[in-house]
Amino acid sequence: MSTICGWIGAHNAFWIGSVRMAHGKGAATDALSGWRIGAVNMLHKARTSRQRLRAGMQVLHSSEPGTTTRAVVAGAGHFRVHTLKGGLVDLKAFRKTDHYDYFYRQPGIADRMWVVFPVNADTESLFCFDKYGERGRFGDCAREVAGETLRGVKWFHRQLLLYHCLGVGAKTFAPAERRVVRELLSGAPEKVIAERLGLTPATTHQYVTVIFRKFGVRGRAEFMSLWLNGRF
């Protein structure tokens, strides 16, 4: 994110792992067609207050999202690059909303770019880039650079989702299981994982067994193969 920010003149960025949680009738009656946020990582957290971050997460997880969120989700299933000032929404009308005032004007965000990569039918990898300053704007060159860079690394999007335990169907993972998954991907043996996470060896082994079952593998070798080959 830092490298791409430098290339396109962005001041901050964040990544979202998006998952389709509802299908059929449930998705048809949902404002986001069943899509929800599975994981978020921000480049420079210090640029956004904790209160604003929490409020933002509530909006992202809400069934009544903001105008821009609905517009970005509308293209689900297709690779897309949008910018706030590039016609994503009616900007004149959007600037009159409380959502724009709190999440864009107050923190000083002049323009935002969304680059969305659909990994499969139920997961998407989304990168957002923010430009600060009253007249800041992402031009066509910046859109092309960010889009072409992130479009050509499908393996990277797959690994990001797998790292956050996303992209494995309807199975859900507890926070402790997510931490164990990350340690497993580092190659650490169970004894070391137990020490790092402050768990007993027995509890660690129980977590590992459950994780392997959820991924549908029989051991560490098959689990690592999922990571290396992006088969989830």
Rounded to an integer, what distance in angstroms lies between the CA atom of residue 230 and that of residue 175?
22
Please list, in sequence order, all residues whose beta carbon lies within 8 angstroms of the beta carbon of residue 121, skipping any fewer than 6 positions away. 20, 77
Answer yes or no: do 62 and 147 share one domain: yes
Answer yes or no: do 46 and 72 share one domain: yes
Alpha carbon 74 to chain centroid distance? 16
For residue 11, pLDDT beyond 80: yes
pLDDT tens digits, residue range 81-97?
999 999 999 999 999 99
Task: Kindly report the pTM of this predicted structure.
Answer: 0.73
Rg of the chain over CA atoms, in angstroms? Answer: 19
Answer yes or no: do 187 and 73 share one domain: no
* The predicted structure's pLDDT at residue 43: 93
CATH of the domain at 209: 1.10.10.10
Domain total of the chain: 2
| Residue where the block lists tokens 């430098």 | 6
pLDDT tens digits, residue range 31-49?
888 888 888 899 987 666 5
pLDDT tens digits, residue range 124-169?
999 999 999 878 999 999 999 999 999 999 889 988 888 887 765 4
* The predicted structure's pLDDT at residue 39: 86
At which of 163, 198, 220 does a domain end?
Answer: 163
Answer yes or no: do 136 and 181 share one domain: no
**56: in domain:** yes
Answer yes or no: do 23 and 85 share one domain: yes
Q: Which residue has the higher pLDDT, 127 or 226?
A: 127
pLDDT tens digits, residue range 200-213?
999 999 999 988 88
Answer yes or no: do 121 and 214 share one domain: no
* The predicted structure's pLDDT at residue 73: 92
pLDDT mean over 50-73: 70
At residue 232 the predicted structure's pLDDT band, cuts being 50, 70 and 90, is: very low
At which of 142, 163, 184 does a domain end?
Answer: 163
For residue 176, pLDDT beyond 60: yes
Count CB neighbours of 126 within 10 A.
21
Report the share of the chain in percent with pLDDT over 70: 85
Q: Which residues of 200-211 are buried (b: 16+ CB within 10 A; e: fewer)?
A: eeeebeebbeeb
Q: What is the DSSP string of 166-204?
A: -SSTT----HHHHHHHHHHHTT--HHHHHHHHT--HHHH
**115: in domain:** yes
- The parent domain of residue 93 ranges over 2-163
Answer yes or no: do 113 and 199 share one domain: no
pLDDT mean over 191-199: 95
**199: in domain:** yes
**131: in domain:** yes
